[in-house]
Amino acid sequence: MHGQRLKNGWIIDGMAKEGIMPETNFVFRKMAEKDILDVASLEKRLFSRPWSEQSLSQALRQSTLFVTALEKNIVVGYCGMYCGFGEGEITNVAVDPIWQNQGVGRKMLEYLLEQAYCQGIRRVMLEVRVSNWNAIHLYESMGFRSCGIRKQLYDLPTEDGMVMEFRYGG
């Protein structure tokens, strides 16, 4: 693949269409309709309230940015963001348990944030279960900061959600 190497090590092809995780076989790209079955399957395995195939398909047709992580053309992770007015809201970050704690989630998020920046997004928000310390640590290490708690945001089980914010350049 020919492309431009960015400061974070990404090799970007054109306008942030596809990225290769250096020194691995992982490829990160915008999610396509053909990925929906695999992404929905991943959702069902990871979340108590998974997105349906129909919801994922509808989301792709809105002002969103969804990316997938692939290893040998198999979806091993995905994350998504609603976009508007220079801001983004991350909806889900999901990595197959086999590939967790190996840097896939971090690189996938870096790729998502890089693409968002290319589209004019300058502020990104997300919510995370307060008990999900692995995710909170990852987000903080990437520059997200806690800006509040939403009481009983999640169910199955009921739990508070931490609201986190990321601003480019600060």
Catalytic residue (one of 43, 110, 114, 139): 139
Q: Print pLDDT tens along the chain (170 aa).
A: 333 444 444 444 434 455 655 556 789 999 999 999 999 999 999 998 999 999 999 999 999 999 999 998 899 999 999 999 999 999 999 999 999 988 999 999 999 999 999 999 999 999 999 999 999 999 999 999 999 999 999 888 999 999 999 998 86
**Any catalytic annotation for residue 154?**
no
pLDDT at residue 5 in the model: 41
d(Cα 119, Cα 112) in Å, to the nearest integer?
11
Predicted TM-score of the model (pTM):
0.84
d(Cα 89, Cα 147) in Å, to the nearest integer?
14
Complete domains list, the chain, with CATH? 4-121 (3.40.630.30), 126-170 (no CATH)
**Any catalytic annotation for residue 127?**
yes
Catalytic residue (one of 53, 127, 154, 168): 127
